[in-house]
Structure 1
């Protein structure tokens, strides 16, 4: 693979992540062609070309592949068969295997635990009977999630004392699920890291995340955890990406637990084979943003320095929060990014704001 400035990168998906990837690629002298089913995709505004077609349209996919040098994707709900089809025509990074594993919560947890890395206890669920047995095994409270296509709190329900478990299963559509045991965690963290084609690895400082209504609300960097816990989180991330033969930026979300003697430990919650919301602070907050880092990685270029510029706080603008854009612009040190979306709906990510506070290091 010999990609140079002036070449074209193909991106599957036209949301805000695709938009920010396209902007980063442009800054490196690359062109971008977006493929997405939605005609109003915000990434189209910043790409030199776009295709509106279904991910199952092989003729459209082949025409798309013929116009690009390498292909990546902005989110993990691109069908794995789409990535596999394209990978026969042009290099696709991250590898379609990573996409297939992370699209299925059971396959993902099986993969993680096969490497000796801890997760919440879990049991696959296929029907109401297996759900009852799983609840008896894991206890209450526990969380029932669809095996596929869930994010930002979608596709899940909590089972507590007195909950009608069959009703929860029906409410999720009666599709294959996974039941996860309750984890008493003290913090939620994530590691944003990149693997290059040559095997190089670069990780940003560990992020500490806060959620509201199951949606990421705020990220602080560095996370308020022990240095050895942060080092372990990065080591776990490298273990997972090494095993996948991964190329590109990845996010690994983890729970921090504390035992009776105050010792911290980690449990992996999930992997995202892409740039991630908790890494948006790197736009303006680090020497190399996660978006530029991903473009560098999938092009086979040297990875950039992931060093941050100071103490970071990033907050998401959800729904009508975006109406405060003028006020945010007047905040000293605030860096605003808006995603070019139309209507602000409850729960819809419209942008984010990052504040960097210099620190003595």
Structure 2
């Protein structure tokens, strides 16, 4: 493997072009990480159970194996100078076991915090940042007691796992509560969970922060529109007051410094009707709502992630143009492809996934614009996303 320089900058000794970055997870986020790293001169290895996965299509080599396969992670570590990951459900213990072989600049504390919603909420609150009111619940009796405190409506979430709405149940009344009881009685059990009080939000938002362990930079706060618990569209920037924007940037920097962040961290937010910013969840990696940065910013979230884990210096990103990003799910692939010739303004990204599936993220489209509202209306008018209305 290429040797590292002796200069220390941030979380790791500054990687030189030619070094190898190993990515655990071979989906679209890994693919876009790899493309950024390639421009900087790095080599890429990927661990993923699917041969020719999206990341493998642009990588130098792939190790085919499950994400918790310690032998496979060991093999990737031996061939890499730095390890990173594209999703949070990675075996932190397996990464710790190979840290004598390879740098893991993101560490595993960040993983362990974001893999466990109790740890995550506790960390956020201890760093002076508001979340929805919440209670840890481990059985049905604790759930009933928590509902007495937080009241309906509320949201029951499994303590670990879950994404795009999986592992979550909105409880509006006692009938919904009885459904949870019945599921347990049928043998479904009661997994360790948290109960969150419902937030009366004006809209959902997110902000990205990137770091190299010493230096931290933020991206604009953006507005997100979810359909069926899956991100549908991101509007950059969000139309918020200077006070809201400042609060979002300050909380992002607080959390990044608390983690001594290396790489990119996504922070999902609620902006409330009374102008508060509340943290919903953290994602210790680049994020779907940050894809607009590829075309719209002076440095994108993937560039910042790679620079951060490689110990390179970071510069504050600039928004070069407002933008709208819309996801292309499995059912949208054929309709959007049929319209590409009519829309030169579309920046089309296809993730190279072999199998079309309903609600599976297959790609995205970003449009740079001076009028985000008009662009949202024009995208919806194509009919490609009519199933989500």
TM range (shorter): over 0.9
TM-score (norm 2): 0.87
| 1:93 partner SS | coil
Which residue does the alignment assign to 1:332?
344
Call closer, same or farther: CA 1:33–1:213 in 2, change over 3 Å: same
8 Å CA contact 2:14–2:312 kept in 1: the answer is: no
8 Å CA contact 2:68–2:90 kept in 1: the answer is: no
| 1:183 partner SS | coil
8 Å CA contact 1:329–1:336 kept in 2: the answer is: no
Deviations 1:327-350 (A, max 9, x none): 135313210001111222122101
Residue 177 (str. 1) matches residue 193 (str. 2):
yes
Distance in 1 between residues matched to 2:263 and 2:189, nearest whole Å: 34
| 1:87 partner SS | coil
- Deviation at residue 163 of structure 1 after TM alignment: 2.2
Q: Work out which of the residue numbers 230, 255, 264 in structure 2 matches 1:215.
A: 230
Q: Work out which of the residue numbers 301, 304, 307 in structure 1 matches 2:312.
A: 301
Distance in 2 between residues matched to 1:289 and 1:270, nearest whole Å: 21
Deviations 1:72-120 (A, max 9, x none): 1101111221222233321113221000000011110011111221100
Residue 37 (str. 1) matches residue 75 (str. 2):
no
8 Å CA contact 2:73–2:95 kept in 1: the answer is: no
Deviations 1:98-145 (A, max 9, x none): 000000111100111112211001111111111111111111111111
Which residue does the alignment assign to 2:180?
168
| Deviates further, 178-187 or 2-11 | 2-11
Distance in 1 between residues matched to 2:291 and 2:47, nearest whole Å: 22
What pairs up with 1:85-234 in 2 under 5 angstroms?
A: 85-168=97-180, 170=183, 173-197=189-213, 199-234=214-249
| 2:318 partner SS | coil
TM-score (norm 1): 0.94
Which residue does the alignment assign to 2:285?
274
| Deviates further, 317-326 or 109-118 | 317-326
Q: Work out which of the residue numbers 229, 235, 259 in structure 1 matches 2:250.
A: 235
Which residue does the alignment assign to 1:22?
34
Alignment RMSD (CA, Å): 1.6
Structure 2 unmatched runs, 5+:
1-12, 372-389
- Deviation at residue 178 of structure 1 after TM alignment: 0.7
Deviations 1:227-274 (A, max 9, x none): 111111010011011111111111111111133xxxx11111011100
Residue 357 (str. 1) matches residue 369 (str. 2):
yes
Distance in 2 between residues matched to 1:329 and 1:294, nearest whole Å: 33
Distance in 2 between residues matched to 1:167 and 1:156, nearest whole Å: 13
Distance in 2 between residues matched to 1:7 and 1:280, nearest whole Å: 26
8 Å CA contact 1:248–1:298 kept in 2: the answer is: yes
| 1:163 partner SS | helix
8 Å CA contact 1:338–1:350 kept in 2: the answer is: yes
What pairs up with 1:305-316 in 2 under 5 angstroms?
A: 305-316=316-327
Q: Work out which of the residue numbers 76, 79, 82 in structure 1 matches 2:88.
A: 76
| Deviates further, 57-66 or 212-221 | 57-66
Which residue does the alignment assign to 1:319?
330
- Deviation at residue 164 of structure 1 after TM alignment: 4.0
8 Å CA contact 1:329–1:335 kept in 2: the answer is: no
